[in-house]
Structure 1
Amino acid sequence: MTTSQLIQDQKPGAARRQGRPGIALAVIAACQLMVVLDATIVNIALPHIQDALKFSTTDLTWVVSSYTLTFGGLLLLGGRAGDILGRRRVFMTGILLFTFASLLGGLAQEPWQLLAARVLQGVGGAIASPTSLALITTTFPEGPERNRAFGVFAAVSAGGGAIGLLAGGMLTEWLDWRWVLFVNVPIGVLIAVLTPLYINESERHTGRFDIAGAMTSTLGMASLVYGFIRAADEGWRDSLTIGSFVAAVPLLLAFAFIESRAKEPITPLRMFADRNRSGTYVIMLSLAAAMFGMFFYIVLFVQNVLEYSPIEAGLAFLPVTVVIAIGAGLSQRFLPVLGPKPFMLTGSALVVVGLAWQALISADSSYVGGVLGPMLLFGFGMGLNFVTLTITAVSGVAQHEAGAASGLLNAMQQVGGSLGLSILTTVFGSASKDEAEKQVAQFMAEASPEQKAQFAETQQLPAPWGHEVLTQGISMGFVAAAAMGVLALATAWFVIKVRKSDLEALSGTAGPVAG
């Protein structure tokens, strides 16, 4: 060992055990998996959470939204923090905060305690997730090795939602709903222990934190999402619905103004100058919006209509994880040969077909006949897209802005999911209300006096009529989701332009992709 090598190994920021890129990638991927699956792992446990903590139905929505909104809104600031303070240091801070919040959430005895813990989880995830992607650029040399690492990371990001549903079902049925949160504690501790051993610290860059940009973007998106969710229950003329949309406009405009004037913005607007990178952001936003809706509505269908248990509902999503992994593997293998556009077009087209097929769902649909087929098409299309979008959007960014770029990509996924689900909820609510009026009239015409008396007391339709209401809302929700998929497909077709140099870059023989 040379003297210079010895000095390098003794630097405070150097990992004590080098030459183990597989372990380093496993640590980074484990963090991303834990953070991503927490957006869905609580979904199947929601009825149990509602019973245990006495949530109202409206407030229960925020068990999911409080996490995704905080996570998506602060991702950009988390990416910048890694650039300024050192990515490994910030990565560990985010992991420890996320782990602590998970412990608090599992111990919650009141609704506000769980919601506060979910917000804190979102903060921790927003710190750790963009830094974990940026650490790949620090740990792996540019070229095939880094692309393979990006492929693993993207596959984990794509499959995390489905894995969360499966894990949530098993933990809820076999243990208790609290374990959907407690499970993060040992994993987080292990990641925190291994990180300084196998991951090097990145070079620190001087800079400032764009707090104003982070706050206006988070509050603006939260106000927008709340407006859509409120409209689903109270209608578009409700004063709080209107007020939420009105408040969102100046907040988001202020965010754009702040970013255009800030010396060191969390969202450097010059990143949107490249049409390929901008196109990937739009595609990610659209596909994530559709994906969150697909998971949410199929969970409702299999539990409420097919009457699956929590673990059966989780297992119902296992095929999605498999086909996402297959799609991600194929795109990773052939991306250097074919380039990104064919995968974006094919993947987005499959998503549209899958969602349009799911829009045909009815109360008489079975899992195999009405859920599995379209879900497989959807999942395979998402798998083709996630690796492609990740490599195209992040490659070619200046080293000192890698954290901000990765944060923006992740923010598109989380914010797109939150915004998309809120829009689909509005469509679902409107369609369900219209169908409910029809079913109530039909029920009252056919029901016995005893059934009418029970309905007057509970205000709930019996299963056959209630299932019709639910599936009609789900069907229209999938129509809206398919429209989001069409936006992704149109963007891939008209916006993404691939040059010969891009193809060479993907194989590591030229400059960075979409630079």
Structure 2
Amino acid sequence: MAAVDANLATVDSHPHPSPPSLAPAEAEAGKRPECFSSTLQECLFVLTATMSIGMSSFLYGICTVITAPIGRDLHMTSAQITWINAASSSGAFLLFFAKVADTFGRRPLLILSMAAFSISALIAGFATNAMYLDVFTGLLGFWSAASVPPAVGILGAAYEHPSKRKNRAFACFSAGNPVGFVLGSIFSGVAERLFGWRASFWLLAIIYAVFFAAALWTVPKAQGTTETFSLGTLRRFDLLGILLSIAGIALFCSSLTIAGDAPKGWRTSYVLVLLLLGVALIFSFVGWEGFCKYPLMPLRIWRDRNFSLINIIVLCGFMSFTASAFWLSLYMQNVLGFSSLTVAIHLLPQAIGGIAVNVVAGLILHRVSNKLLMGIGAIAYVGAALLLATMKADSSYWAFIFPSLLLSVVGADLHFNVANMYVMSSLPPGQQSLAGGIFNTVTKLCSAVGLGISASIYNAESLGKAALQTTLRPYHMVFWFAVAVSGMSLVFVPFLTIGTQGHSTRTTSVASLEGNGDVEGVEERKVGVVVGGKEQ
């Protein structure tokens, strides 16, 4: 049987067809998924899944707000502080955990990762030096990576059929990253003001201990077929691909993080070696996936132009969001002299705006062209970065930082909603964890790249001074970098052909990507994507 692209469909010859009668499966699409015994369980699971994908962002928000107190207490340089944030957003293991979740079961991995994350946060609060904290934030990043693929997989499989209910569930889910960052910032600011920066990590441990307990009940037990560990399973696990992806991403991200603290910056020999070796291993991974009989990441999904473009747009936009958020927090602490709690209060509009944007997105995702939404998000990113890049030390918060916070979360939430819906529709239910792993690997990589490049710019403008700067110019240059990368996301938007998503009005053939990469079966799914003005 010939290969069939995952999101291709028959194009209707009529631009505005009348709605056909719903098939039985479509009629059920708007009802509560059978894997949930009650609406309460469904709602709590969506919340749990949202908190699981928000793990790294929650941690990132905490670290961002308390960077100055941590740096002073543990005598850390700006590069060492950047390493904390980069380690917390590591994406090296996402594809590996995606494969584990799809093969051996999503529920056990999600529950285990939440428990381990809570324990690691508890231990991190007792850190006595920079190395101690770097190691345990790395472990927190590891366990947050373990939680994302199973959460995405369970959510995608549960809401297999497009419907308004699915739109709303994914709108909540998409809020995990941007809202998690802001809530982490706020909780961290309050905890640090009352009890010190260590209390921020202990509060994080308590929050995820609660969600671990909730996951025991809310996560559905029946999640498709799983395999037992055997030699045959191991042969289909693409061990070389796993090794190449983990090593390549880890070395690449490490080189970006340590460059700012290296004696000669990017010209330092070990930085260049790590960077080049990481890039070489990543390219080797991509090349190997084209030949592997059981690929970890099937390359055919990248043949879909919209899939590739959406990931590029999200990469550029989120790179701007991450860099701006990190350095804006430091700017408010070191230039404006705000306390951690004051910083958290000033970031509060971002959390409120993020909730509002996701509510709106859940209502309009199936009504408004998603190409238009991606364009609005990209423009919002550019506007947010421009406001920060052009403000002065005595500029009004309400005229610059406040609108920048609102615009940045508009960009993040619109992009994440559109991207999550499209990516989940690009792979069959048995590979929903893989879909989530690919998309979140992109976001984690862009976070590390954005932080690495911005840290190098910051250090270059600091004239070699290791201490955190109280002058405006280093921050200005970082914000101009955010303008540049957000502008790149806007460049790619016109090439998208995606329309609305979330309808259950058309039957789509989706090729199974399991096995040796050939099409072994075709699964009927309801994707409901409108492309080029026509429903497909």
TM-score (normalised: structure 1): 0.84
Residue of structure 2 in register with 1:221 after alignment: 249
Cα deviation for residue 403 of structure 1 reads 0.4
Q: Which residue of 356, 359, 370 corresponds with 2:386?
A: 356
Residue of structure 1 in register with 2:518 after alignment: none
| 1:142-164 per-position Cα deviation (integer Å, ceiling 9, x unaligned) | 22212211110002222111222
Query: Partner amino acid for 1:492?
Result: V
Contact conserved, 1:97 with 1:120, CA < 8 A, in 2?
Answer: no
Residue of structure 2 in register with 1:296 after alignment: 326
* Structure 1 residues 215 and 118: CA distance shift in structure 2, 3 A: farther
| 1:259-295 per-position Cα deviation (integer Å, ceiling 9, x unaligned) | 2233333322122121111111111211111111111
| 1:398-427 per-position Cα deviation (integer Å, ceiling 9, x unaligned) | 111110101111111111111111112222
Contact conserved, 1:350 with 1:378, CA < 8 A, in 2?
Answer: yes
Work out the CA distance in 2 between the residues paired with 1:341 and 1:295. 26
Residue of structure 2 in register with 1:509 after alignment: 505
Cα deviation for residue 54 of structure 1 reads 4.1
Contact conserved, 1:326 with 1:383, CA < 8 A, in 2?
Answer: no
Counterpart check, 1:105 vs 2:124: yes
Residue of structure 1 in register with 2:79 after alignment: 58
Work out the CA distance in 2 between the residues paired with 1:460 and 1:393. 42
Query: Partner amino acid for 2:497?
Result: K
Q: Secondary structure at the match of 1:203?
A: coil
Query: Partner amino acid for 1:285?
Result: L
Counterpart check, 1:486 vs 2:482: no
Contact conserved, 2:125 with 2:201, CA < 8 A, in 1?
Answer: yes
Contact conserved, 1:354 with 1:378, CA < 8 A, in 2?
Answer: yes
Counterpart check, 1:286 vs 2:299: no
Query: Partner amino acid for 1:507?
Result: H
Cα deviation for residue 167 of structure 1 reads 1.6
Counterpart check, 1:245 vs 2:241: no
Cα deviation for residue 370 of structure 1 reads 3.3
Q: Which residue of 429, 432, 436 corresponds with 2:459?
A: 429
* Structure 1 residues 58 and 477: CA distance shift in structure 2, 3 A: closer
* Structure 1 residues 24 and 122: CA distance shift in structure 2, 3 A: same
Cα deviation for residue 255 of structure 1 reads 1.6
Residue of structure 1 in register with 2:497 after alignment: 497
Query: Partner amino acid for 1:189?
Result: A
| 1:403-457 per-position Cα deviation (integer Å, ceiling 9, x unaligned) | 01011111111111111111122222223329x9xxxxxxxxxxxxxxxxxxxxx
* Structure 1 residues 27 and 332: CA distance shift in structure 2, 3 A: same
* Structure 1 residues 223 and 146: CA distance shift in structure 2, 3 A: same
| 1:294-348 per-position Cα deviation (integer Å, ceiling 9, x unaligned) | 1111112111111111100111111112222222222221121123101001110
Size of the alignment, in residue pairs?
466
* Structure 1 residues 211 and 289: CA distance shift in structure 2, 3 A: farther
| 1:462-489 per-position Cα deviation (integer Å, ceiling 9, x unaligned) | xxxx64xx32121121221112112211
Counterpart check, 1:139 vs 2:154: no
* Structure 1 residues 164 and 16: CA distance shift in structure 2, 3 A: closer
Residue of structure 2 in register with 1:117 after alignment: 136
Contact conserved, 1:40 with 1:164, CA < 8 A, in 2?
Answer: yes
Query: Partner amino acid for 1:413?
Result: T
* Structure 1 residues 125 and 231: CA distance shift in structure 2, 3 A: closer
Unaligned runs of 5+ in 2: 1-33, 228-232, 507-525, 530-535
Cα deviation for residue 40 of structure 1 reads 2.2
Counterpart check, 1:212 vs 2:240: yes
* Structure 1 residues 237 and 123: CA distance shift in structure 2, 3 A: closer
Residue of structure 2 in register with 1:188 after alignment: 208
Work out the CA distance in 2 between the residues paired with 1:51 and 1:213. 41
**Further displaced range: 341-350 or 22-31:** 22-31
Query: Partner amino acid for 1:115?
Result: D
| 1:77-97 per-position Cα deviation (integer Å, ceiling 9, x unaligned) | 112211111111111111122
Q: Which residue of 172, 175, 186 corresponds with 1:152?
A: 172
Contact conserved, 2:79 with 2:455, CA < 8 A, in 1?
Answer: no
Q: Secondary structure at the match of 1:236?
A: helix
* Structure 1 residues 66 and 156: CA distance shift in structure 2, 3 A: closer
Contact conserved, 1:144 with 1:508, CA < 8 A, in 2?
Answer: no
Q: Which residue of 198, 202, 208 corresponds with 1:178?
A: 198
* Structure 1 residues 267 and 460: CA distance shift in structure 2, 3 A: closer
Cα deviation for residue 231 of structure 1 reads 4.1
* Structure 1 residues 50 and 359: CA distance shift in structure 2, 3 A: closer
Unaligned runs of 5+ in 1: 1-13, 437-458
Residue of structure 2 in register with 1:164 after alignment: 184
Contact conserved, 1:15 with 1:196, CA < 8 A, in 2?
Answer: no
* Structure 1 residues 151 and 364: CA distance shift in structure 2, 3 A: same
Cα deviation for residue 228 of structure 1 reads 3.6
Q: Secondary structure at the match of 2:392?
A: coil
Work out the CA distance in 2 between the residues paired with 1:432 and 1:209. 47
Greater fraction helix? 1
Contact conserved, 1:335 with 1:388, CA < 8 A, in 2?
Answer: yes
**Further displaced range: 200-209 or 129-138:** 200-209
Counterpart check, 1:375 vs 2:375: no
Counterpart check, 1:33 vs 2:54: yes
Contact conserved, 1:331 with 1:384, CA < 8 A, in 2?
Answer: yes
Give 1:379-390 correspondences, 5 Å limit.
379-390=409-420
TM-score (normalised: structure 2): 0.81
Work out the CA distance in 2 between the residues paired with 1:189 and 1:264. 36
Contact conserved, 1:62 with 1:115, CA < 8 A, in 2?
Answer: yes
Contact conserved, 2:56 with 2:88, CA < 8 A, in 1?
Answer: no
Residue of structure 2 in register with 1:448 after alignment: none
Residue of structure 2 in register with 1:10 after alignment: none
Q: Secondary structure at the match of 1:253?
A: helix
| 1:377-405 per-position Cα deviation (integer Å, ceiling 9, x unaligned) | 22223232221121122224211111010
Residue of structure 2 in register with 1:328 after alignment: 358
* Structure 1 residues 59 and 350: CA distance shift in structure 2, 3 A: closer
Contact conserved, 1:395 with 1:513, CA < 8 A, in 2?
Answer: no
Residue of structure 2 in register with 1:449 after alignment: none
Query: Which structure ranks higher in relative contact order (CA pairs < 8 Å, sequence separation ≥ 6)?
Result: 2
Cα deviation for residue 225 of structure 1 reads 3.3
Q: Which residue of 52, 67, 77 corresponds with 2:88?
A: 67
Contact conserved, 1:162 with 1:321, CA < 8 A, in 2?
Answer: yes
Query: Partner amino acid for 1:131?
Result: P
Query: Partner amino acid for 1:199?
Result: V
**Where in structure 1 do 4 or more consecutive aligned residues deviate above 6 Å?**
none
